[in-house]
Amino acid sequence: VQLQASGGGLVQAGGSLRLSCAAPERTFSTYIMAWFRQAPGKEREYVAFVDYDRKKYYSESAKGRFTISTEAAKNTMFLEMNSLKPEDTAVYYCAAGSSWSRLQAGFDYWGKGTLVTVSS
């Protein structure tokens, strides 16, 4: 499964960005889909994911500001990010996995990241 994240860039604090993740057909119906990020000098952390039941989960830092969504017709997953903070600066990765534990461990399918930089 080849994933391609895009949409990163430089934005001022308080601004918004929408990340996209292009995926092959039927990916969303086959796998759990997730966004992770890794800030400079820090470990990778999860941002949000969509379970098999299409239920959405968010990290505490993302809750209330970020929205994960999938558009099956376009084979694309999105991460709408609002009220961005400098601490949101990171490389953002999209991932697809057969279980949440496998994704957390870094297994299954990962796209190349897209850099988000939030200036203060």
Q: pLDDT tens digits, residue range 59-111?
A: 999 999 999 999 989 999 999 999 999 999 999 999 999 998 899 888 999 99
Q: How far apart are CA 93 and CA 96, in angstroms?
A: 10
Query: Which pLDDT value is given to residue 1?
Result: 86
Query: Which pLDDT value is given to residue 29?
Result: 86
Query: Which pLDDT value is given to residue 37?
Result: 98
Average pLDDT for the chain: 95
CB 106 within 8 A of CB 94: no
Strand partners, 95: 34, 110
Q: How far apart are CA 22 and CA 14, in angstroms?
A: 26
User: Is 90 exceeded by the pLDDT of residue 119?
Assistant: yes
